[in-house]
Amino acid sequence: MTSISDLTKDLKQGDIKALARAITYVENEITGSAALLENIDARATPTIGITGPAGAGKSSLVNSLIHLLLMQKQRIGVVAVDPSSPFNYGSLLGDRIRLADHFNNSEVFIRSVATRGSLGGLSDKIMEVVFVMSAFPFDYIFIETVGVGQSEVELAGLADTTIVTMVPDAGDEIQTMKAGLMEIADIFVVNKADHVGADRFAKNLRSLSASRINDEWKIPVLKTIATAKEGISELHQEILRHQQAGFSNKRKPFLLAEKCWRIIQKEKMKEVNKKMLLKEITRLMSDQYFNVYRFAKHYF
């Protein structure tokens, strides 16, 4: 069986099988996954997050960007996050179907992951998956998320550039857009720009984005027709411009602090068995003076 040190070495050298195996390790918390994560030295790979409401054409946008980048001899990793069933946490993994054009291209690696009940639009293990992928010699990493848009603060902390994709069909919804979505967007894309009302929608979006107080970066609003690959080159240029501007991701420390807190919490709690707690509390509740706060203190 491959050792963790060998797996890490193969990962850095661009072994695609090692990458797939390493992601499986961390996603499923297989024995050795913690050691794997501790021994990874991440590269500064540009990470692009793409979000927006369902039906906005996020997968088509990623598909067209991949096509453009492949023409430039770039190596690309894609993480496509799909919603899980609320009952069994299974996932259709539909984004993998929509990116089928690039399945057999050795320069493209696509990994679909399920949210597994996570409410923020991202998989609970997305940070680990992206961290592993950043050790691989990719030129770009794309994260395409579940279309919940406004709650995806995690994506904004994880990606270097966040693209929010919308469509003219959203109509007056632009007027009720929450501030959170404005705060995470580095680039707005009005996709399906051949639809009626696209120009007016883009104009309103520019007015709204101009109201964001940010002296460093003025949010561009681009129109695309992703299925026809129109506007994709312009989008790529804006991605490059944002990357080359050298902005530090001010949200990232908050994301890392939250992740660190969860790691520490999990480590501290590993000796606590929830089933045993239930059994013990059920037994002690016969005492009318049972106090859950005094009981919990025994575990501090």
Six-digit token string for 158: 């994880």
Residues 253-279 have a mean pLDDT of: 86
Domain 42-250 CATH superfamily: P-loop containing nucleotide triphosphate hydrolases (3.40.50.300)
Mean pLDDT of the chain: 83
CA nearest neighbour of 78 among 127, 123, 138: 138
User: pTM of this prediction?
Assistant: 0.83
User: pLDDT for 158-216, tens place per residue?
Assistant: 899 999 998 887 655 555 455 556 678 899 999 999 998 899 889 888 887 776 666 67
Q: How many CB atoms lie within 10 A of CB 127?
A: 20
- Give dist(CA 94, CA 233) in Å, integer: 26
Amino acid 90: pLDDT = 43
b/e for 228-239, b at 16 or more Cβ within 10 A?
A: ebebbeebbebb
Reference 222, options 236, 210, 211, 208; nearest CA is 236
Q: Write the pLDDT tens digit of every residue in 204-261.
A: 888 877 766 666 788 899 999 999 999 999 999 999 999 998 877 777 888 788 888 8
Q: What are phi and psi of 142, to 5 degrees?
A: -110, 140
Checking if the pLDDT of 95 tops 80, the result is no
For residue 76, what are the β-bridge partners? 108, 140
Listed by start position, the domains of the chain span: 1-41, 42-250, 255-297
**Mean pLDDT over residues 55-71, rounded?**
93
Query: Rounded mean pLDDT of 110-116?
Result: 76
